[in-house]
Amino acid sequence: MRIFLVKASKARTSPDFNIKSFAGSSGRLDVIARSILAALRLSDGVRENVVFLCVLEGPPNPPKLLRVVGSEVGGLPESEVDIGEIFLRLFKGEEVRGFHLEDKGFEEVVLEYVRDPGVEVYYLERYGVDIRDVDFPRGKDLVFILGDHIGLDRESEVFLEELGVRVISLGPRVYFTSHCITIVNEELDRRKFFS
């Protein structure tokens, strides 16, 4: 299983944003919508081996954990605005297939995975070990932690350091969160295909 965990420091936690100005009124939930599409959507369907997680830390009710399960969604829309409509429904308490909202914070989520012997946790950061030099273990779930458009705050980075979370890099350039997810998926797909 591939699990992407994004920490969204400004993302709204209620249905009080305007879908017509999605990026400007939602605390950049548009970044999260694009990341969901990057993590789960294929040209011919959905990645059933992927779970996308995002801890929403913006007002008025933080934190909220958004969980999108590839094996449950059945299908995904093509646009981030359509994903935004799903966010509105979730915040209003409606059920959406494959989408779940929980009261859970970043540290709690990370600790659950770090303590699980069947999981390896990685933090994507520019100055880590090159992903192409990382020998990912077979038979374990892989968790990749990313920041949003702002990046991870120093307190969270220290928390990950203290837990011994391995830092890996996609190279010297800084990419959008959604692009980082695409690159990781491509790298893992390539390894599986050519192994």
pLDDT mean over 30-57: 95
| Residue 171's CATH number | 3.40.1280.10
Continuous segment of H or E residues that includes residue 42: strand 41-42
Cα–Cα distances in angstroms (integers) from residue 151 to residues 7, 60, 125, 192, in the given order: 8, 21, 9, 29
Q: How confident is the model at residue 195 (pLDDT cuts 50, 70, 90)?
A: low
For the chain, what is the domain count?
A: 1
- Report the distance separating Cα 68 and Cα 56, nearest Å: 13
Reported pTM: 0.95
Per the listing, tokens 């374990």 go with: 140
- Domain range spanning residue 21? 1-195
Model pLDDT for residues 99-132, shown as the tens digit of each residue: 999 999 999 999 999 999 999 999 999 999 999 9
Model pLDDT for residues 126-149, shown as the tens digit of each residue: 999 999 999 999 899 999 999 988
| Total Cβ atoms within 10 A of residue 158 | 11
pLDDT given for residue 22 in this prediction: 86
